[in-house]
Amino acid sequence: MSYKGKFTTFKNPDKYIGDKENVIYRSLWERNVMRWLDENPNIIEWGSEELTVMYEHPVRGGVAKYYPDFIIKDKTNQVRVIEVKPEIQTHRPVNPGRQTSKYLREVMTYAVNQEKWSTAKRYCRRNGIKFEVWTEKKLKELGILSWETDRSVLMAESKDSKKPKMKSINIKKPNRPKRRS
């Protein structure tokens, strides 16, 4: 399930370098990073999807736009471009032996990510910027991601939500005849 929304809970809005009315997160991890950047005293400026990098799309061809998740500047004036991704998307998928649609999607995602990141790294190198991919390992290391934090945030938000709660229903599956090979 995807977790999307607008980040509106700025504690330090002057640190944000973009349109504060349109800060979109596309995952719970990104939202947690936004909160961390906003509240971290070592971060003096940050933006979300404020940088555009043009790259050659390896699947459909042609030029495409890549918007890295974050651009940040810390107290040492080091500028970094950050992409937040699950660790599994940073490695080439293991070939299952047959070409399933899931495997093909994973291969395409990997190829697109690799092209985006290699182009972004070249751009950053030319401009004296660091490019980093933050996975769940880095997020945990920084204290941004923890099971308890995510669980408590989700619980608090579900209490505040105006959406009706869905009941859990046990449905017995009908007996179906076994398929012949």
Catalytic residue among 73, 74, 85, 121: 85
Measured CA to CA, the distance from residue 159 to residue 15 in angstroms comes to 30
Q: Where are the beta strands (DSSP E) in the chain?
A: 5-6, 24-25, 43-48, 53-56, 63-66, 70-74, 79-84, 130-134
Catalytic residue among 30, 38, 49, 83: 30
State how far Cα 127 lies from the chain centre. 24
85 is known as an active-site residue: yes
Catalytic residue among 69, 83, 106, 116: 69
Beta-sheet pairing, 79-84 with 130-134: parallel
State how far Cα 137 lies from the chain centre. 13
State how far Cα 25 lies from the chain centre. 8
140 is known as an active-site residue: no
The residues, any chain, with a CB within 8 Å of residue 43's CB and separated by 6 or more, are 15, 37, 72, 73, 74, 75
Is residue 63 a contact partner of residue 54, using CB atoms and an 8 Å limit?
yes
137 is known as an active-site residue: no
Residues in the chain: 181
What is the set of active-site residues?
A: 30, 69, 85
